[in-house]
A and B are shown apart, each in its own frame.
Chain A
Amino acid sequence: MMKYFSVLMFALLLSACSSSTSGISIESSNQNVVIGNTSLANQIEIEKAIIANANGLMKAGVPVTSKTDSDMKLQYRFYWYDAQGLEVYGSDSPWRQFVLHGRDSVTLQAVARKPEAKQYRIYIREASY
């Protein structure tokens, strides 16, 4: 009896320490949605990647809708690419935090920092805190 209990506690301890950092991404060039985390894909919906122009720089907008009733703490990050598909400013873009309330819809927006950026990709995942 004690053996099973200790094994259970050990397993519980280990699982509480690990967290998934995979998420969902969508690209602006072909509206390709890549689902890396199926449980997250069941809780939020991202349909399209909008491209707009802000004073000559590319402006990105991605509407995200929650399919659950409770608050979700999420992070997102933009990767910018030029016309050839090379990263323009990607590795420097920090993870931004946002809270998605139950059944709410938020548009994640960013402005490209260099005029060479012509396409973008957004990666959304759950926050690890």
Chain B
Amino acid sequence: MKKSVIALLGVAALMGGCAQKVSYGDAQEAETTTIEFGSTDLQKIAEEMTDSMLSSGSVAYITGNGKRPIIVVDGIKNKTSEHIDTESVTDSVSTRLLNSGKFRFVDMTRVEDVRKQLNFQNNDELVNQSTAIQFGKMVGAEYMLYGNLASIVKQAGSDKDVYYKMTMRLMDLETGLVEWADESEIRKQEAKSLLGW
């Protein structure tokens, strides 16, 4: 009697536990799958940088009286040893800044596509020339946003500690002066234990 009950329980446990499933999670949840740069770090950096820029006094000065300065995003230099898509970080920061209504942006990554489109509009016989957009009317950027992402990795046995530091600066393109700079720090730790809890 006992053996058959145990066998039945064993089979039930196996069948219940082996089903592979895919589920949707919360995109804003903290993600701790591995110690590498993750979605939570990206979100934290984007939030902190935007908060800092919007509350800064020098930015208040350049955006005062309804002026909306034009920013070009130069990119973040990845100085860590991991592969990190830093363009997604700048995309997040520039989207939030644009939605705040205090800045305007120019996008350097689509310049060639715009050139192709304008060439088509001005030179192709199909387009009605009175509706074509003329060359030479694009607005130049006044400020440049750029940054550095560095990391310090320490490993001792099975304990690992990674420290990320992201620095961003806003430079006035005409004078070369840095109007705003801030840094954001993240620390992640990994400890592998023998027993599992």
Contact with B along A91-118 (1 / 0, CB 8 A): 1111111000000000001110111000
Q: Does B100 contact A (CB under 8 A)?
A: yes
What total count of A-B pairs have CB within 8 Å?
Answer: 55
Docked-complex contact A96 and B44, CB < 8 angstroms: yes
**Chain B: how many interface residues by the 8 Å CB criterion?**
21
> In the complex, A113→B32 CA distance in Å?
27
B51: which A residues are within 8 A, CB to CB? 109-111
CB-contact partner of A94 in B44, B55, B59, B100, under 8 A: B44
Q: Does A121 contact B (CB under 8 A)?
A: no
Contact with A along B24-55 (1 / 0, CB 8 A): 00001110100000001001100100110011
> In the complex, A97→B187 CA distance in Å?
11
Interface size range on A against B: 20 to 34
Docked-complex contact A93 and B28, CB < 8 angstroms: yes
B54: which A residues are within 8 A, CB to CB? 54-55, 57, 111, 113
> In the complex, A54→B129 CA distance in Å?
47
Q: Which residues between 33 and 86 of chain A lie within 8 Å of chain B, taking CB atoms?
A: 54-57, 59, 75, 77
Q: Does B102 contact A (CB under 8 A)?
A: yes
Docked-complex contact A59 and B55, CB < 8 angstroms: yes
Q: Does B135 contact A (CB under 8 A)?
A: no
Binding site for A on B (CB under 8 A): 28-30, 32, 40, 43-44, 47, 50-51, 54-55, 59-60, 63, 96, 99-102, 197
Binding site for B on A (CB under 8 A): 16, 54-57, 59, 75, 77, 91-97, 109-111, 113-115, 127-129
